[in-house]
Amino acid sequence: MESNAHVSSVKSYGLVLGALLTLTVVTVSAASVDLGSFNVVIALGIATIKASLVALFFMHLRHGRPMNGIIFVSGVIFLGIFLMFCLIDADTRDVPRPTRLITAPAAAAPVPGPAAGH
Amino acid sequence: MSDSAATLGHGAHEPFLQHHFESPEQQADASRIGMWLFLVTEILLFGGLFVGFALMQSRHPEAFLHAHHHLDRTLGFINTVVLLTSSFTMVLAVRSAQTNDRRRLIVFLLLTIVCAGIFLGIKCVEYSHKFHEGLLPGSFYSHRGDPVPGEFMFFSFYFMMTGLHGIHILAGMGLMCWLLRRAVRGDFSSRYNTPVDFVGLYWHLVDVIWIYLFPLLYLIR
């Protein structure tokens, strides 16, 4: 008696590994070419393709129950909302670009000690 | 195993079936949903760090760009290859359990542990370089002569993200040793391989996180 889990062939897993390694080489070589702001888009795009390959084939989302995929994708969507709103917030704030955070000395007002007599 | 199970009145031919489940399939599906929920919490745990990284990187692009030149791209690339390969051996371990191949299950679990060990070994080499140069997180940063102020921030993220990831690798190695012990004992078969399957899922998620960490930390432009 076999369980209902899908058993893929060793060859198909080998092909996925080959694709992942190829994409790793591609992402490293793409990083050595200056494409301006497209570099990060390409790097994250390739990373997302690789992550999808791992999720679909190695993590068996392709053959498993759809519920698992729904859980996974909804988690990624919420992470996207988290990231997007934080970046929108940061980009629309009126903060002078060259970093106040780094250059300003830590000039907090001296904290008064505990008042005597209490 | 089957003869010892036969002596039990309940679940006679399914020694690992809990009494509140109707079938091994139902049990495996129910626990798999729980595993995926756990994986989502892991994504959100790392997600906080990724969002922090994105915010700081967008605010201090020059500092991050200069700081990342201290990282060794070749070592990062080798580690990516090692980790992808370990995912491959792990998925073959799961497959061996599904096909009742105990010998291969043990071999592939061992190979996965070896890959994880190589990954951590290379990470240690990288960390010790950073320690010697004073490229430490936060207030421990003591590297001098940075062309751009604020490079310490990159290393705060670098250590927190790769450190948390490394802890996950260590945990994965521990889990695989536990699997190895159970595999030697002959617990797993095509009917029952949920622990192998789930450690595999966890391991692939750790791999996915590295798939994003590598370009973000090592390949910035």
Residue of chain B minimizing CA distance to A85: B51
Q: Is the ipTM reported for this complex over the cut 0.85?
A: yes
Identify which has the larger pLDDT, B15 or A19. A19
Residue of chain B minimizing CA distance to A72: B40
DSSP string, A100-112: HHHHS---PPPPP
Rounded CA-CA distance B151/B134 in Å is 12
Residue window 3-22, chain A: list those with CB within 8 Å of chain B: 3-5, 7-8, 10, 13-14, 16-17, 20-21
Instruction: Check residue B150 and give its pLDDT.
Output: 82
Instruction: Check residue B4 and give its pLDDT.
Output: 45
pLDDT higher than 80, residue A3: no
Residues of A in contact with B28 (CB under 8 A): 3, 5
Residue window 137-156, chain B: list those with CB within 8 Å of chain A: 149-150, 153
Q: Given CB atoms, is A23 within the 8 Å cutoff of chain B?
A: no
Rounded CA-CA distance B6/B1 in Å is 9
Instruction: Check residue B123 and give its pLDDT.
Output: 97
Substitution target from B42, B59, B72, B217 for chain A, most A beta carbons within 10 A: B59
Q: Provide the shortest C-alpha distance from residue B220 to chain A (in Å).
A: 7
pTM, to two decimals: 0.86
Residues of B in contact with A35 (CB under 8 A): 221
Instruction: Check residue B202 and give its pLDDT.
Output: 98
* Residue the block writes with tokens 């790769």: B162
Residues 6 or more apart from B59 whose CB is under 8 A from it? A90, A97, A99
Q: State the Cα torsion B192-B193-B197-B199 to the nearest 10°.
A: 120
Residue window 161-200, chain B: list those with CB within 8 Å of chain A: 190-191, 193, 197, 200
Identify which has the larger pLDDT, A55 or B17. A55
CATH class as words, domain B24-218: mainly alpha
Q: Given CB atoms, is B37 within the 8 Å cutoff of chain A?
A: yes
**Positive/negative CA dihedral, B128, B168, B203, B158:** negative
Query: Who among A31, A71, A78 is closest to B36 (CB)?
Result: A71
Query: Who among A58, A76, A102 is closest to B91 (CB)?
Result: A58
* Residue the block writes with tokens 């030697």: B184
Cβ A117 vs Cβ B86: under 8 Å: no
- Interface contact B47-A79, CB threshold 8 A: yes
Residues of A in contact with B87 (CB under 8 A): 17, 20, 54, 58
- Interface contact A40-B220, CB threshold 8 A: yes
Helices then strands, each counted (H, E), chain B: 7, 0
Low-confidence ranges of chain B (pLDDT < 50): 1-11
- Interface contact B54-A24, CB threshold 8 A: no
Query: Who among B60, B63, B221 is closest to A39 (CB)?
Result: B221
Instruction: Check residue A97 and give its pLDDT.
Output: 59
Tens digits of per-residue pLDDT, A68-100? 999 999 999 999 999 999 999 888 887 665 555
Instruction: Check residue B217 and give its pLDDT.
Output: 95
Instruction: Check residue B115 and give its pLDDT.
Output: 98
